[in-house]
Structure 1
Amino acid sequence: MTDEAGADAKLVKMIVFAVGEQEYCIPILSVREIRGFEKTTALPFAPHYVCGAINLRGIILTVIDLAVYLNVQPQADNPRRVVIIVESRNGTVCGLLVDRVIDMADVNLSEIQAVAEEDSSLSGLVMIADRMIGVLRLEVVVGQLVGGMIS
């Protein structure tokens, strides 16, 4: 088996989803499940990008509206909106409200073009089938949620 990109190339399976007109991806291993969007319960004093909480089989989860978080025009009347239930490396579980899930893709980590800021919500951009996809840094998104809810 030969690897033209080099022996140290690492492929990671990513789930690709849309928020507004932009596409993003996160590692599939961070995803617990994908559910249809349901009405959320409002959380007082939550950050503006939190659309509320849902009950997932007895566990209360905070749902982040990624369109609001990323300052992208949301598609509110979109019937294909779904909540991606994710778990960050530190064990925090929450939901990400996205406009639609597109597909899964194998991303070579060496092909991700880094963005300027280290604490940015994006770790970089990658080309997948002639489409520029933002690689979401889940730890930053979830970390801001946890920090925002505590303070």
Structure 2
Amino acid sequence: MTEAAEATDAQIVKMIVFTVGEQEYCIPILSVREIRGFEKTTALPFAPHYVCGAINLRGIILTVIDLAVYLNIQPQANNPRRVVVIVESKNGIVYGLLVDRVIDMADVNIDTIQSVPEEGSSLSGLVTIGNRMIGVLRLETVVSQLVEGMASA
């Protein structure tokens, strides 16, 4: 493999694409541990409003964030395809993201991601895949707000 080909490959990140309401978002596939069907969660008292509860994943208790509530988006009503995407942040925190459905996997060139100007935004940018505009979710912002929200409760 030539050096130019290796440099190009290094800029490609495999992303998992999912919907929340009518919007599409993606996260790096390497952050995803597994995808599982949505099950009833156990309520967590004094948790932030976007936390729908906790689930038991093979003996590990995980907090589940309802991304529709977190992102202030109307979720798809009566959607039987809602799933929980189990993710791990860079600092090792494992949690679940409740999404309306997983729709795709895509190879994204990081150079094509258009940055979002908002400081502290949950999106690191937007990327066009085909004719679709997809938000690139910044997991570190989501988890830091979750940790801060749980600590202040």
TM-score (norm 1): 0.94
Work out the CA distance in 2 between the residues paired with 1:141 and 1:92: 11
Structure 2: which 5+ residue stretches go unaligned? none
The match for 1:59 is: 60
Partner of 2:93: 92
Q: Is contact 2:20–2:100 with CA below 8 Å preserved after alignment?
A: yes
Do 1:19 and 1:74's aligned partners in 2 also have CA atoms closer than 8 Å? Answer: yes
After the TM superposition, which of the residue ranges 73-82 and 36-45 deviates more from structure 2?
73-82
Aligned equivalents of 2:85, 2:121: Cα separation in 1: 21
Detail structure 1 runs of 4+ shifted over 4 Å in the superposition: 1-4, 6-9
Deviation (angstroms), 1:9 = 6.3
| 1:67 partner letter | A
Q: Which residue of 2 aligns with 1:13?
A: 14
What's the % identity of the aligned pairs? 83
| Paired letter, 1:140 | T
User: 1:111-137, CA deviations, whole angstroms, 9 ceiling, x for partnerless residues?
Assistant: 000001231000000000110000000
Shift of 1:75: 1.7
Deviation at 1:76, TM superposition (A): 3.9
For the Cα contact (< 8 Å) 2:22–2:76, is it kept in 1? Answer: no
Q: Give the whole-Å Cα distance in 1 for the aligned partners of 2:10 and 2:47.
A: 40
TM alignment of 1:2-151, pairs within 5 A? 7=8, 10-151=11-152
Separation (CA, whole Å) in 1 of partners of 2:37 and 2:8: 40
- Cα separation, 2, equivalents of 1:90 and 1:35: 22
CA distance in 2, matches of 1:7, 1:82: 33
Q: Is the 8 A contact 1:9 1:110 kept in 2?
A: no
Which AA in structure 2 matches 1:92?
I
CA contact (8 A) 2:126 2:135 kept: yes
Cα distance in 1 between the residues matched to 2:98 and 2:77: 11
Higher relative helix content: 2
TM-score (normalised: structure 2): 0.93
**Partner SS, residue 116 of structure 1:** coil
RMSD value, Cα: 1.6
Contact 2:116 2:126 in 1 (8 A): yes
AA of the residue aligned to 1:20: G
